[in-house]
Amino acid sequence: MKELIKRLVETYGPAGSEESIREVIMEEVRPYVDELHVDALGNLIALKRGGGKKLMLASHMDEIGVMVTSIDENGFLRFYGVGGISPFSLIGNRCYFANGTVGVFGMERLDAMKDLTMNKMFIDIGVDSREAALEKVKVGDVAAIKREFCDLGKRLVSKAMDDRIACAIQIEALKQVQNPAYDIYAVFTTQEEVGLRGARVAAYGITPDIGIAVDVTRTGDTPKCATMAVCLGKGPTVKVRDSSVLCTPAVRRHMEEVAKANDIPYQLEVLEAGGTDAGAIQLTKSGIPAGVMSIPCRYIHTASEMVDYDDVLNGVRFLVKLMETEYQG
């Protein structure tokens, strides 16, 4: 899967600008599904027929980024974050726009780190006037972090592992599933990073019987990190809660039973901050039973998010079995 992962994470696709990554995913899944369509909010919905109830899977295509808010007379770009992004993670990093323009994040004063905010930063695209800058970018343009995929063997590092690693798992599961127990609506959602917007629209249109989001989650296995019972390499997680959702208890039990029955290692996840598409799915119409499978990830919302390849492979196994095992409620 590593070539697929590399292709996905290195493709441009900040929230609200998912066209390029959607095209890549569309070509990957087309041979393995019965129907493909794109809805009004840009979600890619892939239907694999199996009969029975409707299972909605949701992996978000979008990544964090920045949007240009103004351009000064010397060609420096001011910006704000698209999704949750810390200014401290940007210093010295690069970004790139849809047209290929590359910029460097800078700050006004090197002694201002203790009270750094984005309005004290700028993007330098290598020009010396506003007129020259306007030939490359304009106010409202969105940039993604520029950082390549790195294969460390057991560990994989890149920008946009959140949530392209889940997109890769969902694609691979669609390739491998043999006997789906549902009509499977595998949705690659938009605008998750700015409020779970794509999943809300997709779930409303599908009205699934059960929804499972696939995302990343934080870990508690680095020096002096916040306490959390999730580690790299110990398997994908079954989420209990996050800021957006209290997972439906029956769905959580179902997921645990599927993992145990198929000898798939898993961890229970209690995420104190952060949300997932399951929060939007669960609150659709009169309510949808919802759960989440997460891939442990270090350094989330930075340019170097890290996952464990064994967790990824076990995530594929887990998702395939969830697709093949009917939820009884």
Q: Mind telling me the catalytic residues?
A: 192
The type of residue at 217 is T
Residues 6+ apart with CB under 8 A from 23: none
Phi first, then psi, for residue 74 (nearest 5°) are -95, 5
Instruction: Kindly tell me the burial class for residue 246, based on how many C-beta atoms sit within 10 Å of its own C-beta (0-12, 13-18, 19 or more).
Output: middle
- Distance (Å, rounded) from C-alpha 245 to C-alpha 42? 23
- Distance (Å, rounded) from C-alpha 307 to C-alpha 304? 10
Q: What is the DSSP string of 33-100?
A: -SEEEE-TT--EEEEE--SSSEEEEEEE--B-EEEEEEE-TTSPEEEEEESS--GGGTTT-EEEETT-
